[in-house]
Structure 1
Amino acid sequence: MDHLNDPDIDGDVYVSPRYLAGTTGIGDPALAPLLGLGWDLRHDDLGNVYTNSPNRRVRLGYLPEGEDDGLWRINAYRDPFGPPAWGVCFNKATPTEFVTAFTTALATAYEARDAYLARPFPGIAERDPIRIVDPLLQQGWTLDRPYLGVYLVDAPDRHAGLEYTGGNLDPEGELTTRDARWQLWAGRSIDKPAWYATASTYTPVALLAAVTRCVADPAPLPRWREDTFSYVAGMAQLTPVRAPLPPAPSPLDVRRAAARRPAALPPASVPRWSTSTRPALPRPRR
C-alpha cells in the first residue's frame, strides 16, 4: 500500500476495514475540490460553513452546529429558486474520506456542464444504478432482499451495508430524514449505525459510485488511537503505524564500505539487519 511509505501519515493506527473508521474531524479535505473551482465560502456566527457553486445551483453546508447530526448537506437545483433536484447527507461520524470522494466527483461533474443533474437511468452505462453497488459486490459484499421493495448489500462482516428502497417516497422526507432512496451505514445495525449517509432518488450515479468505490477499497485508513470517535470501538481492527525499515545493504555496498576502511584497522563485522528494529514513532501531531 502506497501510504505505508508516506512520512506524513496523520494517525498512529490503521483502521480496517475502512468503513469502521470514523471522521477525522477536519472538513478541509472535502471542501477543497469545490473551493478549487472558485466556489465561494461563507461562515455564520456559530461556526457553520457554506459554499455555493458560481451558478448558484449546488449548495453545500458543513454544519457542526446544525439542528441534527447531519454534518454535511449537499443539494443541487435545476432552478435556483425551486426545490432541490437531489440531496445528500453525511452524518457527523462519517469517514471524511468518503465525503471527499463525493465532493471530488461532484467537482468533476460540475465542470462537465449539467452532469451534476444527470438522473439515474437503468440501461444507460454511465447512469445505471447498478454502478453504485458494483464496487461493493466485487469486494465480497452480498445482495439481499429483506423486505418487499427493499434491497440490501451487506459487508462480509455484516457491520456495514447499503440499502436501496423502491417505490414512491416523499421528496421532502428524502431530504430531511433517513427515509431516502439510498442509505449507506456502518456499525452494529442500520437502526443503530456508527455513521450513515443518505441520498435522494435523483442523485447522479457517478457521485454515489465514487463513494462506494472509496468504501470498498480494501486499504485501511489512518487514525489516532486515542480519538475513540475516529473508529468503531470493539469492531474495528487497529494496526500500529510503523515507519518503513531502511533498505538492507547489498553485497556491493558492503564491499565498497570495506574498501573505504583504513588498511591499518582490522576489518569490521557486517552489521546485522533485524526486522524487529524500527525507527521510533513520531509524536502525534495536532
Structure 2
Amino acid sequence: MPTDPFTDLSPDQQVKVLPRHLAGPGPVDLGTVWPFPEDWSVHQADDGAALATSPCLRLVASLALDADSPRKGKWTVTANRAPFGSAAWQVTFDATTPVELLHDFHSELVDLYLEDRHSGQGRLLEDNTPPQEAYTLLLARGWSHQIKTDGTRFFRDPESLGVVRHRYAIVSADSPTWSAWGGYPSEPYWRARFSYGTPTTLAAAFTASLVSTEPVGRVVKDIPFHTRRHIYVAAATSAQQPSVSSPLPVPPSFPGPSRTR
C-alpha cells in the first residue's frame, strides 16, 4: 500500500502536488476563477455569493456558497439564447472543485465569447468540435476507457479516483452530456456537470486541465485526507501559508491556460 507522503510535513507546509483532481480546491478568489474582460459586470455580496454577466447578457456566471454542504456550494455558468431568454446550456461545478480546473474552463469560455463577438460564428451555441477532443488526452495520460450499451462511456484514472463520463447517445436532454468527479466514487470531493448543448470545446478545456502535468500549489492541511496516499509531492517549500478566515482567500499565481483548439 502506498505511504502517506505528508507524514513528515508540517500542516502549514506549502507543497506542489499531482494529480490535480485529488489536490483539494485550493485558495480561491473571483479574479482567479473568473478571468472576465473589464466590460463584464461582476458583483459579489458580503457573504461571498457572486454574479457575473457578459455585455450581451447571454452569459451568466454565478457562485452560491453553502458552508453547511460537504461541497460548499456551486459555481454555475449559463448560456442563454437571448438576453434573459431560455437557457441553451448550463455547466455546474461544486465549490470544492480544484481552482485550476475552474480557471482553465472559464478562460476557454472567455476565448469562445470573444471569438464569437468578433466573428459572429456562434460557437457558444453551435459548436461542431468532435467529442474526441475532450477525451483523447485522457487516454494519452493512461486513463482507461469503458463503453456501455446504455449510451455512456467512462474514462477513469489508473486508480479510479478520477472519472469522466460522456453520454455519446443522448436519450434525454435533461442528462448531462459530460460529467466528471474526483475522489472515491462513493463520496467524491467534487463533481462537474456539462448539460446537453454545452460546447465540446469547453469540456475539452476542462479535461485538458484535469490531466495537466503542471503541479498545483497547496498547503498540506488543505489537501483531502482520505486520498493522500495517492498524491505525488512534486516539490515542497519552507514558506508558510497565512491564516485566512474568508471563504474566498487570496489566490496564488497560476500558469496560463493551455488552448485546446
TM-score interval (norm. to shorter):
0.7 to 0.9
Aligned equivalents of 1:106 and 1:37: distance in 2?
Answer: 15
Aligned equivalents of 1:89 and 1:11: distance in 2?
Answer: 31
Shift of 1:15: 2.3
Cα separation, partners in 2 of 1:223 and 1:31, compared to 1, 3 Å: closer
**Identity between Structure 1 and Structure 2 (%):** 25
Shift of 1:81: 3.0
Aligned equivalents of 1:15 and 1:232: distance in 2?
Answer: 15
Equivalence for 2:182 = 186
Aligned equivalents of 2:242 and 2:46: distance in 1?
Answer: 28
Equivalence for 2:124 = 117
Is the 2:215–2:234 contact (alpha carbons within 8 Å) kept by the matching residues of 1?
no
User: What's the TM-score, normalizing by structure 1?
Assistant: 0.71
Instruction: Tell me whether 1:92 sits opposite 2:95 in the alignment.
Output: yes
Out of 163, 166, 172, the residue aligned to residue 165 of structure 2 is 163
3-state secondary structure, aligned to 2:65? coil
Aligned equivalents of 1:31 and 1:13: distance in 2?
Answer: 21
3-state secondary structure, aligned to 1:183? strand
Cα separation, partners in 2 of 1:147 and 1:45, compared to 1, 3 Å: farther
3-state secondary structure, aligned to 2:220? coil
Equivalence for 2:53 = 52
Q: How many residues align?
A: 225
Deviates more, 1:99-108 or 1:216-225: 216-225
Aligned equivalents of 1:21 and 1:216: distance in 2?
Answer: 12
Unaligned residue ranges in structure 2 (runs of 5+): 1-11, 244-261
CA RMSD of aligned residues (A): 2.5
Out of 16, 21, 36, the residue aligned to residue 23 of structure 2 is 21
Shift of 1:45: 5.4
Structure having the higher Rg: 1
Aligned equivalents of 1:116 and 1:42: distance in 2?
Answer: 27
Is the 1:88–1:197 contact (alpha carbons within 8 Å) kept by the matching residues of 2?
yes
Detail structure 1 runs of 4+ shifted over 6 Å in the superposition. none
Letter in 1 for 2:78: N
Equivalence for 2:250 = none
User: What's the TM-score, normalizing by structure 2?
Assistant: 0.77
Shift of 1:33: 1.4
Out of 73, 84, 87, the residue aligned to residue 76 of structure 2 is 73
Cα deviation digits, residues 149-184 of structure 1 (max 9, x gap): 11101112211111012332243xxxxxxx412111
3-state secondary structure, aligned to 2:239? coil
3-state secondary structure, aligned to 1:214? helix
Cα separation, partners in 2 of 1:188 and 1:29, compared to 1, 3 Å: same
Shift of 1:186: 1.0
Cα separation, partners in 2 of 1:44 and 1:80, compared to 1, 3 Å: same
Shift of 1:18: 1.7
